[in-house]
Structure 1
Amino acid sequence: MKRSLLSVALLAALSGCSLMPQYQRPETPTAASWPEGEAYVGSASAAQGQQMALDWQAFFRDPTLRQLISVALDNNRDLRIAALNVDAYRALYRVQRADVLPAVSADGSGNRTRTPGDLNQTGGSAISGQYSATLGVSWELDLFGRLGSLREQALQQYFATEAAQRSTQISLIASVANAWLTLQADQALLQVSRDTLKTYEESLSLTQHSFDVGVASALELSQARSAVDTARVGIERYTRQVAQDRNDLGMLLGQNVPVEVPADGRLERDLLATVPVGLPSDLLYKRPDIIQAEYQLRAANANIGAARAAFFPRISLTGAVGTASSELSGLFDGGSSYWNFAPSISVPIFNAGQLRANLDYAEISRNIQVAQYERAIQTAFREVADGLAAQATYVRQVQAQRDLLETSEDYYRLAERRYRTGVDSYLTLLDAQRQLFEVQQQFIGDRLAQMTSEVELFKALGGGWDAQSEPVATGG
């Protein structure tokens, strides 16, 4: 009896062993701080001591945009697929976790058989029966941590899909914001084209009158008509783009864009809050895609433990206890009980190098995940650095473009007065009109680029998720 207890204790102790290598987080393959230089002067990276606030409802100040993002979070199919993937991997983890524990089953069976006389030694027919009730137990002893490693791998894969869901959510929020801003910009361009067409038509009317009275030349009249036709082309182009923008936005929302949603093209409003950076570059470890890459690395590390354990014996314990009787009424009578105990062991001897190849594959897969993890960090660092450079330079670029727009407006007003008073030719007025139109378009384009770069910086910093409360995988 003492020997049996000692054997059970020894098996229990061995079941806690694991051949899984100890996880260590790879060294960060990037600099410890954000880049510096002329392109970054005036960016948020110069701020110090700011608390990170990347909640999307606070970052996006436009109520309509916040409403659209909420609709997308409820209806978008990509996000729904990501959520279902989390559920699927959670179920797989539960499956793998169950393999570590004993499996217990209860079974009952019964049958009655009639044997004809010519097959019976007595020469007469006979009816026999057999009934049983059994409680069975089956358990694989995880002596070398194979099942534990597989369970750990499934757990880390589940965590990785959760991080992937959060990454999908952040990408969706940024995509909806960019689609909305693009719609606003194209709506503004459409309005500029309409206003320009109205100006061109008024100029054409005056030029036609001057031509009729012999003041303007046929060339000037042709140039005026050409300007009107050019503006009409622009109107149709931007009308098409506005419609396509609404279709793109509807795809992200998972439904048609609400008809009451305005698209007034007012990009001058302060639609976005300032992204406060001013924090060390290890902030990137809170990005969901980097968290996902690290969980996948941990899963690959756990798989090595399972591949190593496959070289060692596998021991299974199977037993059953129950009752059996030839009559259903006597199934639970005294003396009807029975039991069996059938331990088994499987020792790998020769498999043509399969186990070695599986271990090599597991180790190579781990090395691949290390490289992918490092690449994810490098990509994140570059995205943030690009965003910081864009943040600083777009402020100066948009201001310069605004100054150019004011100058072009003054130039147009002056050219128009000089043409009406006969000081300059229509060619000068036409040049002023075209320059103003181009500068207006460029200003809207620069403003859109500035705002989308702010959205991309928000996304690059892991915005749209509570980065303060998100648990981060740590080494060890």
Structure 2
Amino acid sequence: MNNNILKLTGALLAAGLLSACSLAPTFERPSAPVASAFPANPPAADSKGGPGAGAKDAVDTGWREFFADQRLQQLIATALDNNRDLRTAALRIEEARAAYNITRADRLPNLNAGLSGTLARTPGFQNPATGQPTIGEQFNAGLSIPAFELDFFGRVRSLSEAALATYLSTDEARQAAQISLVAEVAKAYFTERAYAEQLALAQRTYEARRRTYELTRQRVDVGASSLLDLRSNETLMETARASALALARQRAQAENALTLLVGAPPAQAASGNMADDAQIDAMSSVPEGLPSDLIARRPDIRAAEQRLRAANANIGAARAAFFPRISLTAAIGSASPAFSQLFDSGNDTWSFTPQLTLPIFDAGRNRANLNLAEVRKNIAVVDYERTIQTAFREVADALAARSYLADQVAAQRAIQDAQAERLRLLTLRFENGVASTLDVLDAQRELFSAEQQLVQARLLRTTSAIDLYRALGGGLKQ
């Protein structure tokens, strides 16, 4: 009899494992709701921001290759080790993997071994023959399969597939978090360097204006200059001082933001310079490819697709709830009133309990669960499409910036050179008594503003190149 029950149990288990069907809808990736090509942004004249011949794709360009600054490379490496958001993303992967392993285990039967002993006293009135109470012993040992569901309609399988897709989406989300972290560290670093450059410029300007103010005051004392000239010089001097103080504050805050991203205090004082034009040209030379490439390049899009797959699989589990659920419980073992005779011949026991549960009335619970699963899939479809549209816009914006920012920097540099030459000529005219002090002061103010705006334009072009690198999926490779 034991052989028969084992054969029957094995046959049912095999049937449950091999013949399960899935009621989940056939997964179809939604078409990308974007144009087949990025918007054409004609570069302005003499633009140097376009991709160079033979440039590597962003996904194939490691961040150490993309960022030539060694100081920045050290900061990115430290951030990848210490950033708390990235650590949380990695722990989410472990959480999703554990949840998937739990769900996957439900597709296989549990096998339990048990050993028990019972000591019981029976009162005398239950023993008419002797009228005396008795004490009995019972020992049991065996193997059991508790309530294993035969997944004929794929309910457990669908739940397992949904858990797997959730796990994969979590892994993709961690990769997307790494790409964003690399880009944000780089942008924070260059922002801090830009503030440092502007601060140094403001401090030099302040020192120059302070010397001019002192000289003007001496001229006023001897009657060679007017009080109006003195107050005008004082205004420019204090303006430069106020700018320097504001830039010192902004630089300190930018350094704090960089420290937060890195996840640890900097190992050394901030150093290094902003990227020069040649470095920015190299960073801007990433080819954009086609919008369809983003689906393979961007982890956030792949994560959205996995979430859509999970929602699709959950529909299969919800549909399976309308069908009968078949489970079985089986056990084999041995029982004896004496522990020493527990495994003697003739003490064998077995049990086999198949169970079929057919939902008849559940007050609409199953229907509501199916509607919920379908709505969540529709939400996942919208989320997937929105993720693609967002990625498309990020790339298009970065490409538009690349098309024009190089010429904007060149134009701003021309303005600075023109203002510097204007100041030089007015200074000569002032020394020859042709130009007034106010003309020279106005030229100094305009030159300082042009110098500050040039630093800002260079920073904007740098961060735009970083945004394009991130938008195209760069930052995973080292």
Deviation at 1:421, TM superposition (A): 2.8
| Stretch of structure 1 that moved more, 444-453 or 253-262 | 253-262
Q: Which whole-Å CA distance do the structure 1 matches of 2:142 and 2:155 have between them? A: 30
Contact persistence 1:181–1:448 (CA under 8 A): yes
Equivalent in 131, 134, 144 of residue 126 of structure 1: 134
Rounded Cα–Cα distance in structure 2 between residues aligned with 1:344 and 1:45: 69
Q: Is the aligned partner of 1:28 residue 2:32?
A: yes
Superposition TM-score, scaled by structure 2 size: 0.92
Is 1:141 the counterpart of 2:150? The answer is yes
Q: Identify the residue that residue 465 of structure 1 maps to in structure 2.
A: 476
Matches within 5 A, 1:69-468: 69-114=76-121, 122-138=130-146, 139-264=148-273, 270=279, 273-285=283-295, 286-466=297-477
Distance 1:193 1:223 in 2: 18
Number of equivalenced pairs: 466
CA distance in 1 between counterparts of 2:13 and 2:253 reads: 71
Partner of 1:16: 20
Task: Call closer, same or farther: CA 1:326–1:4 in 2, change over 3 Å.
Answer: closer
Counterpart-to-counterpart distance in 2, 1:9 and 1:437: 82
Cα-to-partner distance string for 1:307-330 (whole Å, 9 max, x where unaligned):
111100000011000011111111
User: Residues 108 and 133 of structure 1 are in contact (CA less than 8 Å); yes or no, is this contact kept in structure 2?
Assistant: yes
Name the CA distance, whole Å, in 2 between partners of 1:45 and 1:90: 43
Secondary structure of the equivalent of 2:118? strand
How far off is 1:30 after superposition? 0.8
Match of 2:283, SS? coil
Q: In the alignment, is the contact (CA less than 8 A) between 2:283 and 2:465 conserved in 1?
A: no
Q: What SS does the aligned partner of 1:295 have?
A: helix
For residues 261 and 311 of structure 2, what CA distance do their matches in structure 1 show?
Answer: 34
Report the 3-state secondary structure (helix = DSSP H, G, I; strand = E; otherwise coil) of the residue aligned with 1:23: coil
1:268 and 1:241 map into 2 onto residues whose CA distance is 24
Q: Could you tell me how far 1:216 is from its partner in structure 2?
A: 1.1
How much has 1:258 moved relative to structure 2?
A: 2.1
Moved more, 352-361 or 114-123: 114-123
After superposition, the Cα gap between the structure-2 partners of 1:48 and 1:35, relative to the gap in structure 1 and judged at 3 Å, is: farther
After TM superposition, the structure 1 stretch with the greater mean CA deviation from structure 2, 277-286 or 228-237, is: 277-286
What is the DSSP-based 3-state SS (H/G/I as helix, E as strand, rest coil) of the residue aligned with 2:292?
A: helix
Give 5+ residue unaligned stretches, structure 2. Answer: none
Q: Match for residue 471 of structure 1? A: none
- Tell whether the 8 Å contact from 2:55 to 2:285 is kept in structure 1 after alignment: no
After superposition, the C-alpha distances for 1:111-158 in whole angstroms (9 at most, x for unaligned) are: 323556687653445332111112001321100111111110000000
Give the deviation of 1:244 after TM superposition: 1.0
| CA contact 1:40–1:389 (8 Å) conserved in 2 | no
Q: Distance in 2 between matches of 1:9 and 1:462?
A: 46
Range moving further from structure 2, 14-23 or 115-124: 115-124
CA distance in 1, matches of 2:18, 2:272: 68
Q: Which amino acid aligns with 2:114?
A: D
Contact 2:188 2:254 in 1 (8 A): yes
Amino acid at match of 1:77: R
Contact 1:315 1:343 in 2 (8 A): yes
What is the CA–CA distance in structure 2 between the aligned matches of 1:39 and 1:150, rounded to whole Å? 51
User: For structure 1, which runs of at least 5 residues remain unmatched after alignment?
Assistant: 468-476
Q: Do the aligned residues in 2 keep the contact of 1:15 with 1:141 (CA within 8 Å)? A: no
What is the aligned-residue identity percentage?
A: 43
